[in-house]
Copies of this chain bind each other. A is one copy, B any other.
């Protein structure tokens, strides 16, 4: 058996996690604030971390809720805002867990095509003019999961105009923002209009996923409602985890960790793009400027289900494009390069290209 290679999971490899920094942060968390780290907190999260996040986003702490990972933040937000039958606009393709979470709540999910510069805002407008009155539009603005695309500045402005005119909330889901390794950062929609936007992010990609610390920033009255939901769900998230993240942030370890991660991701994305161009010239893709993911469109008619099987036979994993949509995307796939070394990427793309040749030969035969 070949060594398994996974382009499937959007998670960092251990070599880009600052384990020593985490250990030191844990020491300081218990030494400097033993009461705060070990006692029941409240559902707002660990207050010093809440304040630190608020300062980063230039809001008052009342606008921030720190949660057990940002998926939990999404769940609370949906609990607060989405009733069965409510329309929610999402990108097509979008993060499979968000899609599932919305469908589990009985939301009327309206997928709008994602373009390389972000969601098709003209299509959003047509949807609104046709009578859809969404509660929420879920947008992953930077290095989107699964596509790796980034929403342009012009489209950010247009989306905000549409949201204000049609009175819906933009849920700006932004876990990858810190991981830009090419190009210039764009202003968040939150900073452009704090009344229309609820913002979520996470320390999963900058500290580590296993610490499970994410957060929401939004209007104070909405955050207060969500605090009540969170209180009756779990009293408080892990104060130990949040105190460790806080110490990690204020010590400078966070900035160093982000540099490490960006450096590795830049190299991995470049290796992946070059290998795909060389080994799989049929693949169409946009070379990412940040984040974890690269979306590949194969020629129409390519059976990615069969490709998935052929790749699995070669111990290669990826996620089928169809997992990120309600229907279609059958010739597309998502490659995550966050957890694989350049050598594994070279080897993995070789296996993918072989699998592709098998599958397309089978079709031609």
Q: Is A75 an interface residue (CB 8 A)?
A: yes
Given contacts A17-B38, A23-B26, whether A71 and B234 have CB atoms under 8 Å apart is: yes
Given contacts A104-B232, A235-B97, whether A208 and B39 have CB atoms under 8 Å apart is: yes
Q: Which chain B residues lie closer than 8 Å to A234 at the CB level?
A: 68-69, 71-72, 75, 212
Q: Is A34 an interface residue (CB 8 A)?
A: yes
Dominant SS among interface residues on chain A = helix
A30 touches B23 (CB 8 A): yes
Q: Is A261 an interface residue (CB 8 A)?
A: no
Q: Is A237 an interface residue (CB 8 A)?
A: yes
Bound: A17/B33 CA distance, A? 13
Bound: A235/B9 CA distance, A? 13
Given contacts A39-B11, A39-B14, A40-B11, whether A212 and B232 have CB atoms under 8 Å apart is: no
Stretch in contact with the other chain, from A57-65, A173-181, A238-246, A343-351: A238-246
Other-chain residue from B26, B40, B68, B210 in contact with A210 (beta carbon distance below 8 A): B40
> Which size bracket describes the interface of A in this complex?
35 or more
Bound: A100/B231 CA distance, A? 11
Q: Is A41 an interface residue (CB 8 A)?
A: yes
Cβ < 8 Å to B, chain A residues 1-57? 9, 11, 14, 17, 19-20, 22-23, 26-27, 30-31, 34-41
A75 touches B233 (CB 8 A): yes
Bound: A237/B35 CA distance, A? 22
The chain B residue with its CB closest to the CB of A36 is B210
Bound: A239/B204 CA distance, A? 12
Q: Is A209 an interface residue (CB 8 A)?
A: yes
B71 touches A39 (CB 8 A): no
Q: Is A236 an interface residue (CB 8 A)?
A: yes
Q: Which chain B residues lie closer than 8 Å to A35 at the CB level?
A: 14
Bound: A68/B43 CA distance, A? 12
In the complex, what's the smallest C-beta–C-beta distance from A244 to chain B, in angstroms? 7
B11 touches A209 (CB 8 A): no
Q: Is A191 an interface residue (CB 8 A)?
A: no
The chain B residue with its CB closest to the CB of A41 is B210
In the complex, what's the smallest C-beta–C-beta distance from A319 to chain B, in angstroms? 15
Q: Is A329 an interface residue (CB 8 A)?
A: no
Bound: A204/B235 CA distance, A? 12
Bound: A233/B75 CA distance, A? 6
Bound: A30/B207 CA distance, A? 13
Q: Is A360 an interface residue (CB 8 A)?
A: no
The chain B residue with its CB closest to the CB of A22 is B30
Q: Is A109 an interface residue (CB 8 A)?
A: no
Q: Which chain B residues lie closer than 8 Å to A208 at the CB level?
A: 38-39, 240
Q: Which chain B residues lie closer than 8 Å to A22 at the CB level?
A: 30, 38, 240
Q: Is A101 an interface residue (CB 8 A)?
A: yes
Q: Is A128 an interface residue (CB 8 A)?
A: no
Bound: A363/B330 CA distance, A? 78
